[in-house]
Structure 1
């Protein structure tokens, strides 16, 4: 039998047993309390009615001595007495046979009639008749007190043996409850002992094994065989110890391999061309071109040098739109030397947005993509346009061309960042790489829109929030081609 089955069997039995005991004890007490509440409610109602009748009589007497306002004598006090009279008639339907309220209710009705007659005589300036009605009303109130006391005595006499019988039964039930509670406590103690021996003991041994493994001791001796969940857990710990030993050995081998690879990478880096040597060489070539009268060649070499220097020095840092724009001008200079008059580059910008910061190499790879994949095959009339402007609280960047465009499937794939981004040739950064870096830099999605149809060109719109200096986030390249 598994631990779960044992617990699901014994614990619900204890709970049900305890609830049955509590239910019987509660019910026995509830019967006595209900009978007592009903009897006490009727007695209090009679007492309250008698007091209300007395209050009405006092108000009538005061009115007869000084008849000014009959509303005082016929106001809330009289309405209260009438309400109490109605409640007595209601409770009599569920009361014991001893509660014969007819005479009591009739006396109340007679009192109200006598009171009304006294008020009418007083209003008719007949004090003699009014006081005669008052004397009769006073006698009626006295009879009401006597009849109320009789009802109370009859109620107590009727319920005394019933309550006594219920009290005796309740005492027997309480004795039974004590016995049942004792049995329940004994079963609880036995269950606790069983749980301690069959669960906590093995769990303690497993905790000891776990501590040994945590300290690096993987030489675990076989544990006693069990058929419950703890047996499965014990087998799992033993297997984990064995697997960890194998894994540690593999990790040692892997670390050794990585060390060798790092040494090879270091040797490879040592053999690479120093970037400063490359820039110095380009500067020498530029000056040599000037000396030979090839000024355009010199300008191209300078542009190439600036392009490489920007890519190497700025790649992991945010830059301003002004810096990115200067870099784009260098790139366009090189491309126009290649394509000449076949491609026209249009630039429009709002000077107020040029200090906005963006990740380095955000716009240039998109311009490069337009050159290489949008308009490269066009013999003439090719246009690539870049527009920087404000759009509400955002800065809007639009790169458009009138080239061959892209299929809808390709457009959606680029926006969803699906697959590996296709890298362009000079910077090694593709469109998807740019979009990923924008998401990381600004911490939001949906910043890029692409409008394109096959044969109708492409327009890429980027809306970036105005980012303050204190909110700068350095984002390095996430995907090199």
Structure 2
């Protein structure tokens, strides 16, 4: 649920709850107000009736003293108003607990109307004595009406006394309920505000703390998993993913730095193993030409091989080469070694031509073949065998270097696979086996591309299995022709 949805859902619910309670209070007070209005309307009707009777008697008296058309109309109007009051009082019969008193009250109003009409008729016939008698009877009836009105008021007040007490009780109850509703609404509002605030501020505060730790260089902090479905949960998950990516990028940068460091170390070791290599390379060319002029063909070939070997070692090691270049370099090295061992060592090379375009780090195969000579078959006087196989698979290229020499123990084998440093006296070429394996791993981006099978006295088999990527292939250009 998003934060916007929470606000649009819970705040209207709180308002609806408040309005519902307010409506309940209004409805509770409505019944009390209706009862009060009924009582007051009855009392006011009784009072208005008495005033109408008094006004009718005064108008009738004025007419009898000085009869004229205007006063006659006033009397008729007063009697008509009295008739309307009579009808209103008669409507109070239904549901009234003092119906007999009301019936008597209505009859007296009817009587005073009749007496008033009789007095007017007698006055119109010039029967003044009869008109005066009817007026006196009307006055006595008016007195009875006043007494009856007071009685009705007393009865109404007595009958509505419990209602009045109920009204007071309900008023006190409404006051307490209103106070309770105010407290509950306040607490609910505070709880809702705290809940929404915590659902927003707590994750934000945590993210701010994590960001502060990352700014200090501490990448081991773990942001919350962000299980909520709102915007802050999405932000927390994105932040966690960004931190993971940052760690991955830093690890890759470390690998690149380590690779560059290895390359620099290799260059340094290569330079340390040479005495002014450019001067030596040029001197070898001179010696090769001199041996050729003197007719020493084998010596000339050996010097040419040495020259090629040094020339290959002088190239920049941070640039990749092809497997074909490495194979040519290995063949040059083997030609030099065979001059030393003659028929003591038998070397076989089997290479799939379609695999020779594979890019790889420079100076990779020659150190492994050199280890086969130096640490494998160096103590054998005859029947020494070294084999180099290069095979192409659908998605991989497999390079295998095998010798039937003295082999190695399990501890040495495991130390090489774990890329641990080997004794310095075992690195005759100055380019350690550990560096070769590590460079292969960094170059191809795959862990453990090398496997070693070896036992003491049973020879050694080193297998390198690297991925084949078609986009890495290009037209072959011999190393000697590159600029």
TM-score range relative to shorter protein:
0.3 to 0.5
TM-score, L = length of structure 2: 0.43
Larger Rg: 2
TM-score with structure 1 length normalisation? 0.43
